[in-house]
Structure 1
């Protein structure tokens, strides 16, 4: 019986070593700070160290810190690594505060430990990254690469190899039995080095160590034939399927029994990611509601005494996985459309009350949605929920529209801080919003949520385009 191959995730080769070094840095730095500042030792420090080390590993897994960073920038690596430790440090401080044990610890020790560990977690990664880069730039630990196929994916792979010498790949040429005249005419520096058979002969003689096959998925027969030929070589072979023809949404490998599958439309928020995002939602929402309770009472009174109708308007919208939810808002209009036909508010809309105009322009009408977040039907960050009538209209006009419901809707989102907030009176505007919504889902991370919340305070709440 022929055994099925196993596809493994792209985790850093040194992933286990990275984890051990990180835990060691966290614990040793704490010990050094205790000794340096002559703090009275007690078991609480050990507990804090172990909790932080385990917490860091969990957050690091969520932010994919232990994946390969070969093709990423050093700044991004340091930013995400530091963010993971900051999240753990803040969580530890909050835990100590509510447990009423913060007085048992030296502030000098804890502060120095948190700053020192953050610096060391990033510094050792930068040093190791520079070491790998230097040895590869000097020609060590490099591999000669050939690409099968001449198409957009092949050209893009060549560009990525050229831009990233630290990867240790040296591109030598394209090989194929066919010639794409459009690609050849569009790119002056693209030319065939030979046929597939010539590639196999060169590889057998030791010319190439790595082969990338950049052929469309529909060419299954050709791919199978090339793979069989490559099986007579010792080269490492990689497939570059034309996934750019699909709107992949956080694709990942999974298994059903002994069968492996590749998810095409999936959510990034599952497992520990779901727990971390929910914790962020609860902590942030409680903090905001505590800070804005009095302003909310004032807004409620203004809405109640300046126009007829309820203070809170509950509109039915689509939530996670397309399930219907009730989204809370301060009522800002005299009409409350909530059925099969919903007319979007426009500038100068006569239905908007005087108080409503102000709270809509400043987004104060959306403050009750923090209660939705605590209920669990919404998140602080995510695609903005649309009225059911608008969903039914645009799902027929915009491809992949409903994929925005693979995560919980949010009070603010990636689209909103990029200018797509308020009225979407044209199809182009709605398409732009959906593009950013799907981009958010593809690239979600806890750090991205924090960044969106931060940017919302500067450009997401107000604007002349908000109605």
Structure 2
């Protein structure tokens, strides 16, 4: 499908190369400033070459060029920060492993990183200026709610410069607070598009009701112009999560619950999940053995138990947890309550600090869970809420996580009211629709800093 809004496809494809060249040039300039000479030693040459190559791989993997705002000087560089952290972090790890850190100037490294950010911002600013000059001049045909929604979306990308105005269809009443003037009726379309002052370059048809074969008058008016005509279909009543158009067997199809985690991005996330989970299990292994011993000494029974919960795609998985309750009915799906008599002494500490969740690192290694995602609920809880909250089961479009956006925003623990579950669902759906590696990193950092204890953990 052709992209209508945002930077050109060729620019998106070349962006990693431009950023890689920014890394290369910034490193060279930093060396010239630090040592006042143009010739680079062999070690510095190798570092710059590795920086370029790593940029070509890690920046796209970190989704630095997703969305229509990646080419903006500030937001674009902010979206590229996780990739830059990966690039320079990898260089530092390589220098440590090869025991060559002492060969490089720390001042040079700091200047290199700073210069890279500056150069990445500069070339994005130049692209942004060119994009502003090349912005289309769009005339919206329609004045209803759909046209108003299309106008607002256009303004969010182009500002006020792209929208020329509206053309009224039939005698329909215009939506309130239109952001541009109504320039006339559909019968006046030919005169409007020929105006040199308006300089219209595109026609967008956004009617509140879909055109039919009987709309000969509308089709005739559109054919009188040689300008590109784009049709905005009304899919608001079909919204689940996000829309994505594609082509299958020669047919245009629209996926109604699309997520950025479909396709290759899911592989990137899964690889990072397993890498981090494996490292954490190795580092925490002595601590895990202490927890095992404490549970054994406190009460009889298994140390770890698995509870059936919905995983990605609605499949049932067994989520592992350290046992924090007295042995009883393993299928008891009641959520833990404050001062719950089923919780043991050690279990109370584990639950307050969320340490009972650590065995789920094995679920991550097995590919059943992710480090970050919607928290999995007991099956009985899903049955209770799936019929009460719209799109509730859409939270299982992706793998569940050990932590999530809802949890770091205070919606963890018992959900004893419909309002609490509604808020948790809103955060989960926002995460699924707007996922990025940067979002995952922010959630993990906030979890590490403050997410282990919470007033709702009991």
Question: Does TM, scored on the shorter chain, surpass 0.5?
Answer: yes
Distance 1:253 1:333, change over 3 A: same
TM-score by length of 2: 0.84
Cross-structure match for 2:60: 58
What's the offset of the Cα at 1:218?
A: 4.7
Distance 1:56 1:291, change over 3 A: closer
1:106 aligns with 2:104: yes
- Taking the aligned partners of 1:243 and 1:28, their CA distance within structure 2 comes to 46
- Taking the aligned partners of 2:304 and 2:215, their CA distance within structure 1 comes to 59
Distance 1:91 1:378, change over 3 A: farther
What's the offset of the Cα at 1:382?
A: 0.4
Cross-structure match for 2:188: 198
- Taking the aligned partners of 1:336 and 1:175, their CA distance within structure 2 comes to 68
1:261 aligns with 2:258: no
Task: Give the secondary-structure state (helix, strand or coil) at the position aligned to 2:257.
Answer: coil
Across the aligned residues of Structure 1 and Structure 2, the Cα RMSD in angstroms comes to: 3.3
- Taking the aligned partners of 1:75 and 1:336, their CA distance within structure 2 comes to 55
What's the offset of the Cα at 1:350?
A: 1.6
1:251 aligns with 2:253: no
**1:124-178 alpha-carbon deviations (Å, 9 max, x no partner):** 313543x348xx5xxx656543322233332234445566665731432342214
Cross-structure match for 2:68: 68
Q: Which stretch shows the higher mean deviation, 81-90 or 360-369?
A: 81-90
Task: Give the secondary-structure state (helix, strand or coil) at the position aligned to 1:299.
Answer: helix
Give matches, 1:294-309, under 5 Å. Answer: 294-309=286-301
Q: Which stretch shows the higher mean deviation, 359-368 or 41-50?
A: 41-50
Contact 1:39 1:106 in 2 (8 A): no
Q: Unaligned regions of 5+ residues in structure 2, if any? A: none
1:29 aligns with 2:26: yes
- Taking the aligned partners of 1:214 and 1:338, their CA distance within structure 2 comes to 55
Cross-structure match for 2:272: 280
- Taking the aligned partners of 1:396 and 1:22, their CA distance within structure 2 comes to 48
Distance 1:335 1:399, change over 3 A: farther
Q: 1:7 aligns with which of 2, 6, 16?
A: 2
What's the offset of the Cα at 1:371?
A: 2.0
Cross-structure match for 1:347: 338
What's the offset of the Cα at 1:225?
A: 6.7
What's the offset of the Cα at 1:421?
A: 0.8
Task: Give the secondary-structure state (helix, strand or coil) at the position aligned to 1:168.
Answer: coil
- Taking the aligned partners of 2:214 and 2:118, their CA distance within structure 1 comes to 51
Give matches, 1:80-159, under 5 Å. Answer: 80-94=79-93, 97=96, 100=98, 102=100, 106=104, 108=106, 112-129=111-128, 131-132=129-130, 136=132, 141=134, 143-159=136-152
Q: Which stretch shows the higher mean deviation, 230-239 or 363-372?
A: 230-239
Q: 2:281 aligns with which of 285, 289, 301?
A: 289
Task: Give the secondary-structure state (helix, strand or coil) at the position aligned to 1:212.
Answer: strand
Contact 1:145 1:173 in 2 (8 A): no
Cross-structure match for 1:465: 456
Contact 2:79 2:438 in 1 (8 A): yes
What's the offset of the Cα at 1:312?
A: 0.8
What's the offset of the Cα at 1:262?
A: 2.1
- Taking the aligned partners of 2:64 and 2:214, their CA distance within structure 1 comes to 38
- Taking the aligned partners of 2:48 and 2:180, their CA distance within structure 1 comes to 60
1:41 aligns with 2:42: yes
- Taking the aligned partners of 1:245 and 1:368, their CA distance within structure 2 comes to 42
- Taking the aligned partners of 1:88 and 1:405, their CA distance within structure 2 comes to 32
Q: Which stretch shows the higher mean deviation, 104-113 or 347-356?
A: 104-113
Contact 1:332 1:357 in 2 (8 A): yes
- Taking the aligned partners of 1:407 and 1:270, their CA distance within structure 2 comes to 9
1:311 aligns with 2:303: yes
What's the offset of the Cα at 1:220?
A: 5.1
Contact 1:337 1:343 in 2 (8 A): no
**1:201-221 alpha-carbon deviations (Å, 9 max, x no partner):** 422555433333223465555
TM-score by length of 1: 0.83
Cross-structure match for 1:3: none
Contact 2:189 2:221 in 1 (8 A): no
Distance 1:335 1:194, change over 3 A: farther
Distance 1:73 1:26, change over 3 A: closer
Cross-structure match for 2:401: 410
Contact 1:132 1:166 in 2 (8 A): no
Distance 1:11 1:209, change over 3 A: closer
**1:354-403 alpha-carbon deviations (Å, 9 max, x no partner):** 22222212211111112221222111100101112222332233222222
- Taking the aligned partners of 2:57 and 2:99, their CA distance within structure 1 comes to 19
